[in-house]
C-alpha cells in the first residue's frame, strides 16, 4: 500500500461524513400535508379541542368545542413578564406562553439590541401550554371542569418586571368554577435563571372531591424553509426529545408516521434546536408521567405536539392542594441543564461520539476559565490533543519519512517493470521487507484520531458558549464562517505544505488527487464555523513542525 493512502482514507472518510449528513438533510421526507376537503377541515376543527388535550381517565369530551374556543379567544388578554434574562408574553387563555425572548442572546452581532426569539406565535408558531384535566367528569356536570389551555384566567396586572435585588417574581392567574373550585396558576421567575416554576394551586370549595391531573405540552409548526442542503452550514437537530432513563430523540417525521404514547418516570419533554431548547420538567423525578406526541391539523397547517400528563391527584371537598412543574426556555448551557434535570444536558447532542465529546468540551471549558477567550481556549486545546497523540503521530511521520527515503528506489522500480502491476507490487513488498518498513505504519495513528476530530467538530458546532464569541481581529464570532475567508486560506496553505513534506505517490493520478485535496478542503472549510477551522489550522501547523523535525532526523541518520 502506498504511503499516502492513510491520509487519503482520513480525507475520504471525513468528506463522506459531510456528504452523508447533507444527503440525510436533503432527502428527509417532507411533513405530511393536509389534503382533506373543506368539509373535512371543518370536521377536523370540531375535534381539535379534543385532539390537542391529553385525555384524562374516563373523561367526557366537550360537546361544543368551537363555541368555547371562539369565546375564549375573544376574551383573552396578554401579560408581559420581564426579567434580566427572559422576556415573556403569557395569554390569559389557558396561561399559554406565547412568546419567549432572550435579551442576553442577541439575534446577531449586528443587531445587539434585538433579542433572540425562541417561542413565538408568528409563523412558524412555537408555544408552550399547560393546564388541568378533571377525571370522571359527568357530561351534565360542567361545573367541575378543570381549567385547560382553552379556559380563560384573569390577571391583576398586564405587566410584571423583576426588579434588581428581588429574589423572585410571582405572576398569578386566577380561574373560578361555578361550584366553588378556584385555581390559581402561578409562574415564578428568578434572577439570572432561564428556568421557571409553575404551580397550579387548587382550592376545592365545592361539596365533592376534586380528582385531576396536570399536563404540559409544547407545540410547533415546521418552517417552510426547513428543507434544503446544509452541507456548508450546520446540521444541528431540530425536533422533539424526551428522557426516559435515556435520551430519546423523536423527529417530526417519526411523529407523523407513528404517535408516541407511553409511561415514563423521572423524565422530561423538550423541543430542541441549534443552541436553544424549551422543556417541561416534572417537579418530582419519582412520579410516573404519560408522554404523548402527535401531529395535529390546524387552520394554518400541521403542528407537532409533545406533552406530559401527571398522575391523578385527589383533593377532598373543602381542602386545597397543588400540582407543580418547571419550564425551561433558553440556551443549551451544559452545567445549568445538568443541575435542572438528569439527562437534560444531553440535548447538546454529540451523537455516537458523546463519550469522547463530553470530556473534550469539559476540558475546553476548563481552559476557557483560565484564558478567558474561546479562540485561545481552542488553540490550547489543540495543543493538548496534539501532545496526547504525539507518540502516535510520531509513528506515522516516521513511517512517512522512511517511505520518503524509498521514493527514488520505487520510481526506479516503476520504470523497470513498466505496466506490470502484479510484478511491481511483489517487488515493492520485498523492498519494504528488506528495509524493515511497515506500509501500514502511518495508517493506524491517523485512523485512531478520526473519532477525536469528529467529536471536536460536534463540540464546536453545538456549544452555545461559542455563539457570538470573539477571538481577535476580524474573528468576531467563532460559531460562524470567517467573513474574509482568511483562516480557510491559511488552513489550505498548511495542508499544501504538508503534502510537500510527504513523499509523492508513484502513481501520477494519485499524485494529482492529493495535490487537489488542499484546494477541495479550503472550499469546504470556507463555510465551516471559524472555531473549527482555527482548530484544523493550528493542528496543521503543529503537524508540519513535528513532521519536519522527524523527517530531518531520519534523513540525517541515513546520511551517516
To the nearest 10°, the Cα dihedral for 233, 234, 240, 244?
Answer: 160
Q: What confidence score (pLDDT) does residue 69 get?
A: 46
353-358 average pLDDT score: 89
Q: What confidence score (pLDDT) does residue 179 get?
A: 83
- Contact, 229 vs 266, CB < 8 A? no
Instruction: Tell me which of 104 and 123 has the higher pLDDT.
Output: 104
Q: What confidence score (pLDDT) does residue 557 get?
A: 66
Distances (CA, A) of 98 to 305, 335, 475, 553: 15, 27, 36, 67
3-state DSSP helix/strand/coil percent for the chain, to nearest 5?
40, 25, 30
101-106 average pLDDT score: 96
Residues 6 or more apart from 525 whose CB is under 8 A from it? 487, 488, 491, 492, 532, 533, 536
Q: What confidence score (pLDDT) does residue 514 get?
A: 73
Three-class SS state of 63: coil
Distance of CA 339 to the CA centre of its chain: 18
Proportion of the chain above pLDDT 90, given as a percent = 46
Distances (CA, A) of 286 to 135, 158, 293, 483, 503: 22, 36, 22, 50, 63
Taking the C-alpha atoms of residue 119 and residue 278, their distance in angstroms, rounded to an integer, is: 8
Instruction: Tell me which of 24 and 545 has the higher pLDDT.
Output: 545
CATH architecture of 31-223+237-349: Distorted Sandwich (2.70)
Query: What is the rounded average pLDDT for all residues in the chain?
Result: 81
Residue 259 predicted with pLDDT over 90: no
- Tell me how many helices (H) and strands (E) the chain has: 13, 19
Q: What confidence score (pLDDT) does residue 63 get?
A: 34
Most confident among 108-122, 182-196, 332-346 (mean pLDDT): 182-196
407-430 average pLDDT score: 75
Q: Which segment of 103-112, 113-122, 540-549 scores lowest on mean pLDDT? A: 540-549
Taking the C-alpha atoms of residue 186 and residue 201, their distance in angstroms, rounded to an integer, is: 8
Most confident among 4-18, 25-39, 166-180 (mean pLDDT): 166-180
Residue 232 predicted with pLDDT over 60: no
pTM score > 0.85 for this model? no
Q: What confidence score (pLDDT) does residue 155 get?
A: 95
Distance of CA 34 to the CA centre of its chain: 28
Residue from 134, 143, 129, 151 nearest 56 by CA: 134
Q: What confidence score (pLDDT) does residue 404 get?
A: 67
Q: How confident is the model at residue 371 (pLDDT cuts 50, 70, 90)?
A: very high
Residue entry with cell 408568528:
122
Q: What confidence score (pLDDT) does residue 411 get?
A: 73
The end-to-end CA distance of the chain, in Å, is 28
Residues 126-135 as b/e (b if ≥16 CB within 10 A, e otherwise) read: bbbbbbbbbb
Domains of the chain by residue range: 5-18+361-559, 31-223+237-349
- Contact, 306 vs 218, CB < 8 A? yes
- Contact, 160 vs 82, CB < 8 A? yes
340-348 average pLDDT score: 92
Residue 475 predicted with pLDDT over 90: yes
Taking the C-alpha atoms of residue 85 and residue 101, their distance in angstroms, rounded to an integer, is: 8
Amino acid at each position: 500500500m502506498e504511503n499516502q493512502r492513510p491520509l487519503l482514507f482520513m480525507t475520504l472518510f471525513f468528506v463522506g461524513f459531510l456528504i452523508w449528513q447533507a444527503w440525510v438533510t436533503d432527502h428527509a421526507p417532507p411533513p405530511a400535508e393536509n389534503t382533506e376537503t373543506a368539509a373535512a377541515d371543518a370536521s377536523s376543527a370540531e375535534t381539535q379541542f379534543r385532539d390537542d388535550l391529553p385525555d384524562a381517565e374516563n373523561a367526557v369530551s366537550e360537546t361544543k368545542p368551537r363555541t368555547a374556543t371562539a369565546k375564549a379567544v375573544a376574551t383573552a388578554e396578554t401579560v408581559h413578564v420581564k426579567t434580566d434574562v427572559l422576556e415573556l408574553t403569557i395569554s390569559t387563555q389557558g396561561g399559554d406562553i406565547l412568546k419567549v425572548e432572550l435579551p442576553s442572546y442577541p439575534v446577531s452581532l449586528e443587531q445587539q439590541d434585538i433579542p433572540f426569539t425562541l417561542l413565538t406565535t408568528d409563523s412558524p408558531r412555537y408555544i408552550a401550554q399547560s393546564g388541568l384535566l378533571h377525571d370522571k367528569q359527568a357530561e351534565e356536570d360542567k361545573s367541575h371542569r378543570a381549567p385547560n389551555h382553552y379556559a380563560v384566567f384573569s390577571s391583576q396586572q398586564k405587566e410584571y418586571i423583576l426588579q434588581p435585588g428581588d429574589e423572585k417574581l410571582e405572576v398569578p392567574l386566577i380561574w373560578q368554577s361555578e361550584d366553588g373550585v378556584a385555581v390559581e396558576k402561578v409562574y415564578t421567575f428568578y434572577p439570572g435563571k432561564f428556568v421557571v416554576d409553575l404551580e397550579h394551586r387548587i382550592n376545592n370549595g365545592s361539596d365533592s372531591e376534586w380528582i385531576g391531573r396536570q399536563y404540559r405540552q409544547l407545540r410547533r409548526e415546521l418552517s417552510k424553509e426547513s428543507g434544503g442542503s446544509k452541507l456548508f452550514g450546520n446540521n444541528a437537530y431540530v425536533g422533539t426529545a424526551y428522557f426516559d432513563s435515556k435520551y430519546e430523540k423523536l423527529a417530526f417525521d417519526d411523529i407523523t408516521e407513528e404517535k408516541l404514547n407511553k409511561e415514563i418516570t423521572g423524565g422530561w419533554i423538550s423541543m430542541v434546536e441549534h443552541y436553544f431548547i424549551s422543556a417541561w420538567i416534572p417537579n418530582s423525578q419519582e412520579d410516573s408521567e404519560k408522554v404523548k406526541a402527535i401531529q395535529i391539523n390546524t387552520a394554518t397547517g400541521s403542528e407537532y405536539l409533545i406533552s406530559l400528563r401527571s398522575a391523578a391527584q385527589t383533593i377532598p371537598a373543602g381542602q386545597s392542594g397543588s400540582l407543580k412543574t418547571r419550564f425551561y426556555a433558553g440556551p443549551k448551557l451544559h452545567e445549568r441543564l445538568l443541575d435542572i434535570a438528569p439527562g437534560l444536558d444531553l440535548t447538546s447532542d454529540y451523537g455516537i461520539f458523546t463519550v469522547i465529546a463530553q470530556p473534550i468540551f469539559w476540558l475546553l471549558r476548563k481552559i476557557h476559565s483560565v484564558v478567558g477567550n474561546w479562540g485561545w481556549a481552542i488553540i490550547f486545546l489543540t495543543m493538548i490533543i496534539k501532545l496526547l497523540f504525539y507518540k502516535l503521530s510520531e509513528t506515522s511521520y516516521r513511517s512517512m519519512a522512511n517511505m520518503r527515503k524509498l521514493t527514488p528506489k520505487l520510481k526506479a522500480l516503476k520504470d523497470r517493470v513498466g505496466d506490470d502491476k502484479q510484478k511491481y507490487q511483489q517487488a515493492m513488498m520485498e523492498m519494504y521487507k528488506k528495509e524493515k518498513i511497515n506500509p501500514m505504519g502511518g495508517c493506524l495513528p491517523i485512523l485512531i484520531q478520526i473519532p477525536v476530530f469528529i467529536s471536536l467538530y460536534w463540540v464546536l458546532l453545538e456549544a452555545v458558549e461559542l455563539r457570538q464569541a470573539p477571538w481577535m481581529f476580524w474573528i468576531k464570532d467563532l460559531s460562524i464562517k470567517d467573513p474574509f475567508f482568511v483562516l480557510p486560506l491559511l488552513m489550505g496553505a498548511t495542508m499544501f505544505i504538508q503534502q510537500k513534506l510527504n513523499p509523492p505517490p508513484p502513481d501520477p493520478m494519485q499524485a494529482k488527487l492529493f495535490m487537489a485535496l488542499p484546494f477541495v478542503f479550503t472550499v469546504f472549510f470556507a463555510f465551516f464555523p471559524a472555531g473549527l477551522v482555527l482548530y484544523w489550522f493550528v493542528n496543521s501547523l503543529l503537524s508540519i513542525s513535528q513532521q519536519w523535525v522527524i523527517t530531518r532526523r531520519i534523513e540525517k541518520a541515513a546520511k551517516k
